[in-house]
Structure 1
Amino acid sequence: MKSSHIKAKSFLASRIFFILLILVVLPLFIYTIFLYKTEYKQTREDIYLTLSVIATQIEKNIEDNLSFKDQILTSIFDEMKNKNLNFDNLLKKRSKEFDLEGLFYFSLEDQDNFRVNNSSKDLKITNLNALKGILNAKKTLFLTALLNCSDCIYLSKRVMLNDKPVAALVVAFLKNDLLIDFPKDKYFANVSMAIVDNGNTILSNITSKDKKSLKNTTKSSASKQILVKKDLKNSNLKVALSLDEKDVKNFHINSFIFKHLYILSIIFILLLLLSLIFIVLMTKPIGKLLKTMQKVKEGKLDRRYKKQKYGFEINHIGYFFNETIDSLLLKQKEVEKEKIEKQKYLEELKIGEEIQMSLLPQQPLDVKGLDIAFGNLFAKEVGGDFYDFFEKNGQVFFVIADIATKGILACLYALNLRSIIRSFAFELNSLEKIIFKTNQVFLKDTQNLSMFATAFFGMYDPKSRILKYSNAGHQSAILRKKYSTITELTTKGIALGVKDLKDIYVNEVTLEKGDLIFLYTDGIIDAIDIKNRFFGKENLINFIKDTDKLAAYEIIEKLFRRLETYSKDTFQYDDMTALVFKIR
């Protein structure tokens, strides 16, 4: 009982904890998720706004850088107005002075030829005709593979004559000259800053990340990057700042946990304390109830459960427990009385079974030219079915009967009726007289109890093979000829014990070798299966038709196997009794 006590308390503790989990922890968890998403959304918007401000500043710095280089080109144009200067030397000098990667000046000599001046021999123009497009823009920032500096960006400024472009001055400088160092704290340690073209191809960046392109995104998109882009004036290029959302999420999760861990810890401690208080309060009544049950189990039936504070439903259980014990004590004598009555009933039932078995012949007759077999399947309650047969003066007398009641009373009346029939059957030779006398005596025993019995009587002469029979309200006998033709044998007549018989009807039939007489009680055709369907006379007749090659005992065995299978797992209310005579 001690282990049960512990299990009950453990179960209640688990239940309380589960309830608190549902009512407190689950809403708290949902709120935490909501709070996390809200704060993350705000953090993302703040980052986007910050990147926008930084991108604007970077854009301004780049434009200032380009403005300075534009001033360089303007000053060189002014110097080139002196035709006596060596342009190559001038370009070389200014390139070195301003730490440029190169300066180019090319002028259109005629429609198909350019004259090129270059600050460095290492920088070569590989396709002069393709440079015509540069003259179409007044001032532009571009990248090109026509010049052999792969890390350079180019700024060009053209010269007009009679409203026609005739020359252009190009300055080459490294891509990273346009970019600035970026703060390396908090989220921004992982920010990528780059120059991109209209196809979002990265032309230059100052991070160590090897990225080929950037996906378009906005502050409200669900892409993998937070991206801000600003157009650079007088070019098809943009400055782009990007930050992986994965980096933002990782930092935000750590920050969120650290920020809210204190509150969550307090709530957890309070939850634990509440659980302990509830467990103590709730398990105390259970302990009292279990102790009371243990005392009752030990035989101290005067012990009762006392109402406990904070007992709640346990007090109700204790009340019903007390009521149950009181009720059991009051009914204990009734149970003992019922036990005695049941024992008495079982003894009577055993006597009834012994009587029922004594009513039936134990061995078949050994009569020349006649094969006799019989069988029974008894119901749960003893009944009044019986059959009898014996040889007298070279003839075989037989009867099958069914008392119209159940129980020990049916057995006693069956025993009485069998004795009456036997006494008159041995004394008298006429079937009519046997039936008349039997009914006369049986009626005196049953008329005050409304008891009656159905019966089928027969007298068979093996020498002449003539069968005389009479039916007293019983099922008709079934005659199966040797060619499987079925005939029902019956006569007029009422059950025994109903009233005095004035007329008794007897018929006779001549039998042949191979013929079969089948007698039975209604328990056979009233057998039911699990669907409450009756076995029925039709099934019985079909069975008898196919028995021409079977001996009498084989017919009985096969029939009762089929009946057992048919009525399996069902309650049978009546005995099944059969008697078979086969002419040999």
Structure 2
Amino acid sequence: MMTKNSNPFNLPEHSKERGRGLIYRVLLICASLIILPMLIHTFYSYKEEYKEALNNSLNEMEIVGRSSMVNFEEWLLCISQLINSLATQQVPFADYPKIASDAHLETLFRILKRSDQELVVVAAEHSQRVGRINPFFDQIADIPTGQRKVFAAFDPLTQTHQIMVAARVADKEILVVGKSAIRWIERFKKGFRGHFPYHLALVDVWKEVIATDLYLSPQEIELVTSDDLIKKRAQILKTKKPFISLKQPLPEANFFLYVDVSKAAIEKGILRKIILRSSLFTFLFLFGGGSVVWILVSRMGRPLQELHHAMISVGKGDLTARYHTMRLGFEINQVGGLFNKTVDQLVTHMQSAADERLKSESYRKELQIARKIQKNLFPKKIPSFPSIEIATRYIPAKEVSGDFYDLFPLQDRLMIVIADSSGKGVSSSLFSLSVRSLLRSTALEFSQLTEMVDATNKLFCLDTEESADFVTAWIGIYESSTRKFQYTSCGHFPALLRKAGGEILELTTPGMALGGSPATRAQKEEVQLETGDFLLLFTDGVVEAQNRQEKFFGKDRLLNSFRTKSVLSPKEFIDSLTQELGLFTEGVDQFDDITLVAIQIV
């Protein structure tokens, strides 16, 4: 029953509050539909952009290498002109410091060869060099007249690595010009501006670093040549090392220029570009799109207010309140229509709930009746009969089915029946009760097993003409005086017979379930029982028991259990088999009754 309440749904009372909430939700939806896909696209396109940027950096690296070679050639040309000028003109030795400074050189000196093969500096950019023996004897001693040599060396006076150009201008006269290696690198970087950050290093043929603007270990570098950039481009792009270095030879020099590109710097640049692009888009979306959304939602919020008022009224108990469609209502109009239908059907649902309770109560009572009927199907107690020991077990499922067994004495004979009715509930129990009554009645009237079963089937078919229900049954008659056992199967599982010697037989006959057709004729078989023989009757609930993996207990497990537990009495065997079934099913709900009858000849 609905009770009155000032605001039972806890809805906001103020329209501004509702309007803001709607605006925030719309903005959130827009962000989800626009910004999130953009971020996802950015994430997946990052790799392609990074690969493209890395590829472009390799192209630029190659340009840097070529430019450095051209720059070095131009520098050598200028140095050659300076050397020729000093060699052909009578330049005073005192002018050497000024000439070196004007040419931006760290080293400039003239060497004369004495008769004792020593090379002595006679003029230099610094007075401390004059009169000393040349420190670069090994590099310049073998230069032929009119030739020059380019090499890198460490100058002990300036304590720097320098790029040296030495030229023999006469038989006993050599001019040496030197430029700081690190200053040459800095000068070249100023003259070339690329799109990607790169580092330069001069390395001699023994892989000793002469000068660099960033020291790197060999393990960090993927060293490539110009040919590699053409032939092995794809392999270079996949390298895991943080730096890629181009080894560029320089004209006439005994050292190389290494052009290093940092993959991390490229990645950082790509991320910076993506963040800038995303930030700009987000700014435009929030301030531009947000303003438009604010205006539109303010107008579109009116239908929501109307729906809000209708819901408040219904919440207070006024079931006559309804939502009225409005312009710009769009989906709110649809929600309002659903709200109206909900209110219209509220009373109907309340009545339906009451009807369901009645049905549930009726089903509960029907279930109680079915259980009572089924309880009456079983013998009140197991009859005492000569030369046999009997044990039974019935384990009901949640829903009542039609399993039953019967042990009906006929003077010196005993009728043994196990059966399973199709269907569930009261009807199934009633059909089972009918079959049990008919079998008992015909057993008193007919002495032959087949006549008894045929008569039962004909009478039962009269009851099942309209319903198409049937009952599977296995029926046997044991004669105590002769220990002969006659049996017939009406569409039921075979009974299992374990002979005293251990042989296992399946006792069955061709036959149709009771109630299938009145024209069906039962067939019987006979077996001679002996002391120690063990007979087991069961219903489908045993072999069709399932575990959590939906696997069946199955006939093979049943046969194995029947074979290995030969020393147990009927009751002990049923207890053991029931325990085995419980361990196999692991607590899974039982969907069908389990019925067992065990008989041993003693």
TM-score normalised per structure 2 = 0.58
Q: CA RMSD in A?
A: 6.8
Tell me which amino acid in the other structure corresponds to 2:462.
Q
Partner of 1:556: 574
- Tell me the CA shift for residue 55 of structure 1: 7.1
Aligned to 1:163: none
Does the CA-based 8 Å contact 1:55-1:240 persist in structure 2? no
Distance between the aligned counterparts of 2:524 and 2:40, measured in 1? 91
Report the Cα offset of residue 356 of structure 1. Answer: 0.6
Task: Pick the aligned partner of 2:462 from 443, 447, 450.
Answer: 447
Structure 2 residue 112 is matched with structure 1 residue 104? yes
Matching of residue 350 in structure 1 with residue 371 in structure 2:
no
Shift of residue 517, structure 1, vs aligned partner: 4.0
* Cα deviation, residue 242, structure 1: 9.7
CA distance in 1, matches of 2:509, 2:95: 145
Sequence identity (%): 20
For 2:232, the equivalent position in structure 1 comes to none
Count, aligned residues: 525
Paired residue for 1:269?
283
Counterpart code for 1:432: S
Alpha-carbon distance in 2 for matches of 1:408, 1:365: 27
**Residues 263-295 of structure 1 deviation map (CA, whole Å, 9 limit, x = unaligned):** 987654322124534765569578887887787
Correspondence for 1:157: 169
CA distance in 2 between counterparts of 1:181 and 1:505 reads 110
Find the counterpart in structure 1 of residue 93 from structure 2: 95
Instruction: Quote the Cα distance in structure 2 between the aligned partners of 1:370 and 1:508.
Output: 17
> Which deviates the most, 346-355 or 291-300?
291-300
Kindly indicate whether the alpha-carbon contact (under 8 Å) linking 1:469 and 1:508 is maintained by their aligned counterparts in 2. yes
1:370 partner amino acid = I
Q: Evaluate the alpha carbon distance shift between residue 274 and residue 436 of structure 1 in structure 2; reply closer, same or farther with a 3 A threshold.
A: same
Residue 373 of structure 1: SS of its match in structure 2?
strand
CA contact (8 A) 1:511 1:583 kept: yes
User: What is the match of residue 377 of structure 1?
Assistant: 395
CA distance in 1, matches of 2:203, 2:449: 126
Deviations 1:554-582 (A, max 9, x none): 22233444556677758746x44333332
1:81 paired residue number: none
Contact 2:150/2:166 (8 A) holds in 1: yes
Task: Give distance in 1, aligned partners of 2:381 and 2:73.
Answer: 120
Pick from 350, 358, 364 the counterpart of residue 340 of structure 1. Answer: 358
Deviations 1:471-501 (A, max 9, x none): 5847576554322345677899998889999
- Which deviates more, 186-195 or 295-304? 186-195
Give distance in 1, aligned partners of 2:324 and 2:359.
38
SS in structure 2 of the partner of residue 269 of structure 1: helix
| In structure 1, C-alpha distance between the alignment counterparts of 2:499 and 2:118, rounded to whole Å | 135
Q: Give the one of 453, 469, 477 matched to 1:458.
A: 477
> Which stretches in structure 1 are left out of the alignment for 5+ residues?
77-93, 108-112, 159-166
| Superposed displacement of residue 377, structure 1 | 3.4
Q: In 2, Cα distance between the equivalents of 1:572 and 1:104?
A: 114
Q: Which residue of 1 aligns with 2:30?
A: 16
Could you tell me whether the CA contact under 8 Å between 1:55 and 1:241 is conserved in 2?
Answer: no
| Cα offsets for 1:539-564 (capped at 9, x unmatched) | 76665454542111122233444556
Unaligned runs of 5+ in 2: 1-8, 13-17, 98-107, 124-129, 217-222, 230-235, 237-242
2:534 aligned with 1:516: yes
Q: Is the 8 A contact 1:124 1:148 kept in 2?
A: no
- Cα deviation, residue 400, structure 1: 1.9
The offset of 1:300, in angstroms, is: 6.0
Aligned position for 1:527: 544
Residue 131 of structure 2 is aligned to residue 122 of structure 1: yes
The C-alpha deviation readout for 1:337-373, integer Å capped at 9, x for no partner, is: 3442343123112111111112213433455643221
Distance change >3 Å, CA 528–CA 321, structure 1 → 2: farther
- Residue aligned with 1:432, SS: coil
Aligned CA distance change for structure 1 residues 130 and 570 (closer, same or farther; 3 Å):
closer
Cα contact 1:424–1:434 (8 A) shared by 2: no
Q: 1:360 aligns with which of 371, 374, 378?
A: 378
SS of aligned partner of 1:447: helix
| Partner Cα distance (1:50, 1:493) in 2 | 101
AA in 2 matched with 1:269: F
TM alignment of 1:570-581, pairs within 5 A = 572=591, 575-581=593-599
The CA distance in 1 between the partners of 2:139 and 2:309, in whole Å, is: 103
Distance 1:448 1:105, change over 3 A: closer
Aligned CA distance change for structure 1 residues 58 and 227 (closer, same or farther; 3 Å):
farther
Q: CA deviation at 1:447?
A: 2.7
1:583 Cα deviation from its structure 2 partner: 2.7
User: Cα–Cα, structure 1 residues 485 and 314, in superposed 2: closer, same or farther, change >3 Å?
Assistant: same
How many Å separate the matches in 1 of 2:513 and 2:59? Answer: 101
Contact 2:248 2:259 in 1 (8 A): no
1: CA distance, partners of 2:541 / 2:199:
96
Cα distance in 2 between the residues matched to 1:209 and 1:509: 101
User: How far did residue 124 of structure 1 move?
Assistant: 4.1
State the match for 2:86 in structure 1. 69
Give me the whole-angstrom Cα distance separating, in 1, the residues matched to 2:138 and 2:533.
Answer: 126
Residue identity opposite 2:131 in structure 1 = D
Using the alignment, how far apart are the partners of 1:443 and 1:570 within structure 2? 37
The residue aligned with 2:146 is 138
CA distance in 2, matches of 1:127, 1:185: 29
Q: Decide whether aligned partners of structure 1 residues 192 and 381 sit closer, same or farther in structure 2, where only a CA change above 3 A counts.
A: closer
Q: Are the counterparts in 1 of residues 464 and 515 from structure 2 also a CA contact under 8 Å?
A: no
Task: Rate the CA distance shift 1:114–1:432 in 2: closer, same or farther, 3 A.
Answer: closer
Which AA in structure 2 matches 1:458? I
Report the CA distance shift for 1:560/1:398 in structure 2 as closer, same or farther (over 3 A): farther
Counterpart AA for 1:123: R
SS across alignment from 1:351: helix
Q: Alignment partner of 1:19: what SS?
A: helix
Change (3 A) 1:278 1:363: farther
Moved more, 438-447 or 558-567: 438-447
> Structure 1 residue 65: deviation in Å?
3.5
Change (3 A) 1:339 1:95: same
Q: Aligned pair in 2 of structure 1 residues 299, 49: CA closer, same or farther (>3 Å)?
A: farther
Inter-CA distance 43–138: structure 2 relative to 1 (3 Å threshold): closer
Letter in 1 for 2:287: L
Distance in 2 (alpha carbons) for counterparts of 1:523 and 1:474? 12
Relative distance call for 1:404 and 1:171 in structure 2 (3 A) is: closer
Matches of 1:195 and 1:499, distance apart in 2:
105
Aligned residue for 2:34, secondary structure, equals helix
Which structure has the larger Rg over C-alpha atoms? 1
CA distance in 1, matches of 2:567, 2:561: 12
1:168-195 per-residue CA deviation (whole Å, 9 max, x = no partner) reads: 444567767xx99988998899999999
Aligned 8 A contact 1:195 1:238 in 2: no
Report the secondary structure of 1:137's partner residue: coil
